[in-house]
A and B are shown apart, each in its own frame.
Chain A
Amino acid sequence: MSVFEGFRFRHISSPVHRLDPRVKFFFVIVMFVAAVIFFELLPLIVLFTLPLPFVWLGGVQRPWMKSLRGAMFLAVFLFVFNLVFGYFSPSTVPYGMVPLEYATAMLLRFLVLVESFSTFFLTTSPDHLSLALEQSHVPYEFTFAFTTAVRFVPVLAEEAQTIMDAQKARGLELERGNFMKRVRNYIPILIPLIVSAIRRSLELAEAMESRAWGAVKKRTNLYVLKLRRGDLMLIIISIIILAAALYVRYFVYPLPTITMLLPK
């Protein structure tokens, strides 16, 4: 599960953590667009390095590395796929590149996406995120469902463990048997878990109603997100990146590739 570790929020206080999630998400979108418009290795290398200062500033280097490591499996698969495809169907490889460079570029593009999203989720707390959703006029029902789900993840994980213990104590062996048997052995775990989740939801609903859920159409909020200097700076940086990317894409021609730069 280490790939998920690369996305789980950490309780650290850093300038990056304090940035408005909406602005951070804007940055991620810009990175996404910029990555997608390039096939060439050089610009993608540049894009890959752009989130690094934020990772360092946010102090989330280790989990960030984990997310990249976790994505490696899929990344390598992509690489091999594109390499093989490139050799057998040369027309898919853009002008000026050998298949190797193309495959590497696609690998890097995938990693740029993973690292941007990872940085976002690592430096944005779920309640910060839900606040951003609320203020972005996402209906409160969805935000609430999101926060409640996140809040109960550790609770359900613990409960799953307890249920496993309880059934193991009745002789259930989870490690033995062929594939089909093992799947069936999880039924005594899943059913209590699901039933418990349903009971829990009922109790939650009672508590929500008892605290005036639905009293007013427009809920107010204890917190409010305000854009600050750091946010404005990030917005400007993002716009510059986007503009530069578009400029390079459409006005720099031909875009140098490694293949072209290598001596013949």
Chain B
Amino acid sequence: MVLTGPSGCGKTTLCRCFNGLIPHFYNGQLEGEISIAGLKVKEHQIHELAQKVGLVFQNPENQLFALSVEKDVAFGLENLGVTRANIRKWVDWALKTTEIEELRERAPHELSGGQQQRVAIACVLAMRPEIMVFDEPTSFLDPLGARKIFRVINELNKKLEITVILVEHRLDLASNYADRVLIMDNGKIVLNGKPREVFTSEKARLAGVGIPKATLLWQLLQEKGFSLIDVPTGSEEATHFLREMFEN
């Protein structure tokens, strides 16, 4: 699920509700109920929730504290008191799944932003959560690095069946993988549905999110009375639908 919305709309705040940082780490008033992976957030400590819900943050540098990648990935498991043999097993698995085995002995400072972010993902993955929340994980990365991260996230979702919540501004990059898009504005959820429906809705335009260009093109054609077989959200779909339209 992709979560988006203008700056200050509350998406970052919402993310922190998922693993208990709100209300346990941040002070403030929380009204209402949040229940995740069968646990009521208000009633469980962050370290309990952390075993079900992983959170990957925006800045890769500030999620890595150890002096080697391996030790960082082991951090969460060490905190949970897992036995050495199991730590070894899950660390190796996490490194393999995120394709960073060759970085095992490296120090975080020597890595590129994209590599660091993959390490951060491995660190969270090692605890084998059911749900992973990514708060703008590609903000500091170049498009190539961003693509790699989206691919990894997609693999986690499709192959390991981990529920993914991805906060992202650049919808043209992220919407390819999404089953659902949620748009927030001013602390409220204003849209919740399939990417096609959401991107073509007037509310999305009003909220000021960056509708993918492919969808904008479709809208231009709609206005002139030309319709495609479906709403494209990515370039491949758009190419495909346009081709269909021309060949008929």
Please give me the residue from chain B that is nearest to A158 by CB atom.
B109
Which chain A positions have C-beta within 8 A of B64? 151
Least CB distance, A132 to chain B, in whole angstroms: 14
Which chain A positions have C-beta within 8 A of B50? 209-212, 215
Interface residue? B40 (CB, 8 A): no
In the assembled complex, the Cα of A144 lies from the Cα of B66 at a distance in Å of 8
In the assembled complex, the Cα of A214 lies from the Cα of B16 at a distance in Å of 18
In the assembled complex, the Cα of A209 lies from the Cα of B22 at a distance in Å of 11
Interface residue? A96 (CB, 8 A): no
Which chain A positions have C-beta within 8 A of B55? 206, 210
Least CB distance, B43 to chain A, in whole angstroms: 16
Interface bits A210-231 vs B (CB < 8 Å: 1, else 0): 1111111011111110000000
Question: Is B124 in contact with A211, judged by CB distance below 8 angstroms?
Answer: yes
Question: Is B66 in contact with A211, judged by CB distance below 8 angstroms?
Answer: no
Question: Is A212 in contact with B71, judged by CB distance below 8 angstroms?
Answer: no
**Other-chain contact of B127, A147, A150, A151, A211 (Cβ < 8 Å):** A211
In the assembled complex, the Cα of A151 lies from the Cα of B67 at a distance in Å of 6
Question: Is B87 in contact with A206, judged by CB distance below 8 angstroms?
Answer: no
Interface residue? B101 (CB, 8 A): no
Interface residue? A203 (CB, 8 A): yes
Interface bits B207-243 vs A (CB < 8 Å: 1, else 0): 0000000000000000000000000000000000000
Which chain A positions have C-beta within 8 A of B24? 209
Which chain B positions have C-beta within 8 A of A150? 67
Question: Is A212 in contact with B62, judged by CB distance below 8 angstroms?
Answer: no
Q: A210-B19, A210-B124, A212-B50 are in contact. Are A220 and B78 (CB under 8 A)?
A: yes
Interface residue? B70 (CB, 8 A): yes
Number of interface residues of A (CB under 8 A): 33
Question: Is B68 in contact with A212, judged by CB distance below 8 angstroms?
Answer: no
Please give me the residue from chain A that is nearest to B135 by CB atom.
A206
In the assembled complex, the Cα of A234 lies from the Cα of B139 at a distance in Å of 51
Interface residue? A126 (CB, 8 A): yes
Please give me the residue from chain B that is nearest to A148 by CB atom.
B65
Interface residue? B154 (CB, 8 A): no
Please give me the residue from chain B that is nearest to A211 by CB atom.
B76
Q: A210-B21, A211-B76, A218-B81 are in contact. Are A204 and B66 (CB under 8 A)?
A: no
Interface bits A127-168 vs B (CB < 8 Å: 1, else 0): 100100000000000001001101100110000000000000
Interface bits B50-93 vs A (CB < 8 Å: 1, else 0): 11001101010111111110110011111111111001100100
Question: Is B67 in contact with A216, judged by CB distance below 8 angstroms?
Answer: no
Which chain A positions have C-beta within 8 A of B63? 203-204, 207
Question: Is B66 in contact with A151, judged by CB distance below 8 angstroms?
Answer: yes
Most central of A148, A154, A207 by chain B CB within 10 Å? A207
**Other-chain contact of A222, B62, B78, B107 (Cβ < 8 Å):** B78
Interface residue? B137 (CB, 8 A): no
Question: Is B62 in contact with A221, judged by CB distance below 8 angstroms?
Answer: no
In the assembled complex, the Cα of A144 lies from the Cα of B68 at a distance in Å of 13
Least CB distance, B84 to chain A, in whole angstroms: 6
Least CB distance, B208 to chain A, in whole angstroms: 27
Q: A210-B46, A213-B47 are in contact. Are A147 and B65 (CB under 8 A)?
A: yes
Which chain B positions have C-beta within 8 A of A214? 47, 79
In the assembled complex, the Cα of A211 lies from the Cα of B72 at a distance in Å of 10
Interface residue? A200 (CB, 8 A): yes
Which chain B positions have C-beta within 8 A of A200? 62
Question: Is B78 in contact with A221, judged by CB distance below 8 angstroms?
Answer: yes
**Other-chain contact of B81, A154, A206, A207, A220 (Cβ < 8 Å):** A220
Least CB distance, B104 to chain A, in whole angstroms: 11
Interface residue? B123 (CB, 8 A): yes
**Other-chain contact of B123, A144, A211, A223 (Cβ < 8 Å):** A211
Interface residue? B108 (CB, 8 A): yes
In the assembled complex, the Cα of A150 lies from the Cα of B66 at a distance in Å of 9
In the assembled complex, the Cα of A126 lies from the Cα of B65 at a distance in Å of 13
Which chain A positions have C-beta within 8 A of B79? 211-216, 219
Which chain A positions have C-beta within 8 A of B91? 222
In the assembled complex, the Cα of A195 lies from the Cα of B135 at a distance in Å of 22
Most central of A148, A151, A220, A222 by chain B CB within 10 Å? A222
Interface residue? A208 (CB, 8 A): yes
A151-188 at interface with B (beta carbon < 8 Å)? 151, 154-155
Chain B residues packing against A (C-beta within 8 Å)? 16, 19, 21, 24-25, 46-48, 50-51, 54-55, 57, 59, 61-68, 70-71, 74-84, 87-88, 91, 107-109, 120, 123-124, 127
A-B contact pairs, 20 of them (CB 8 A): A144-B65, A147-B67, A151-B107, A207-B120, A210-B124, A211-B50, A211-B79, A211-B123, A211-B127, A212-B50, A213-B79, A215-B47, A215-B80, A216-B79, A219-B78, A220-B78, A220-B83, A220-B84, A221-B84, A222-B87
